[in-house]
Amino acid sequence: MHKFLIVGLGNIGAEYSHTRHNIGFDVLDAFVRKHNGFFKLDRLAEVAEVKWKGKTFICIKPTTYMNLSGKAFKYWQEKEKIDVANTLTIVDDLALPIHRIRLRGTGSDAGHNGLKDIQLMLGTDAYPKLRFGIGNEFPKGAQVDFVLGKWLPAEQPLISRKIIACTDIIEQFAAVGLDKAMNMANNLSFT
């Protein structure tokens, strides 16, 4: 039985629900729903266990707030004895256009506080990340409002398609490995 830790990044609290910064939570919700799973509150995170094609996915949404995401990541990785290579962190990315997603096995935190904390806890940036492009269409000085803002109604259909694609990529990551899943994910463009 192969075991994977899937980490969706976001902030707890209704005011953050379905914001750009919480897309990691939204993707994980869709993935768990697709597999008829459910989240329960546990230590440092909401946790769901999903089984698919002989694989077990431990899905966590940290309840630590974004800048302490590493604490939940490390706790569940160690508790479930999951190799770092079998983890996947889903995160919003300002540097990626809204119509793109990017899967990588390594890479910097790019100023993202959730990734920064995970990197600090792991002592490396070599852990797989699925970056969900949120674009950067905001006026100077309005980055925080943009990131913590809700999707525009015109963006919703595109975001819904990307979320569905991300649930497929999580499965592919587990089924065929990082390299093949990267080829699939990184060539996708959504309109």
Q: What is the pLDDT of residues 94-152, one digit of tens each?
A: 999 999 999 999 999 999 999 999 999 999 999 999 999 999 888 888 888 999 999 99
Q: 1 pLDDT band (50/70/90 cuts)?
A: low
Residue 191 falls inside a structural domain: no
User: Do the domain assignments include residue 144?
Assistant: yes
- Reference 175, options 52, 31, 28; nearest CA is 52
As given in the structure block, the two tokens for residue 174 are 């587990």
Q: How far apart are CA 138 and CA 84, in angstroms?
A: 35
Which helix (H) or strand (E) is 88 found in, with range? strand 87-93
Q: How far apart are CA 130 and CA 166, in angstroms?
A: 8
| Domain with 21 in it | 2-186
Specify the pTM. 0.96
Nearest by Cα to 88 from 185, 191, 189, 188: 185
125 is a domain residue: yes
Give how many domains the chain has, as a whole number. 1
pLDDT at 191: 83
Distance CA 90, CA 172 (A): 14
Structure tokens at 145: 């409002």
Q: Is 99 a catalytic residue?
A: no
CATH number at residue 143: 3.40.50.1470
How far does CA 180 lie from the centroid of its chain? 19
Question: Exactly one of 2, 21, 35, 112 is catalytic; which is it?
Answer: 21
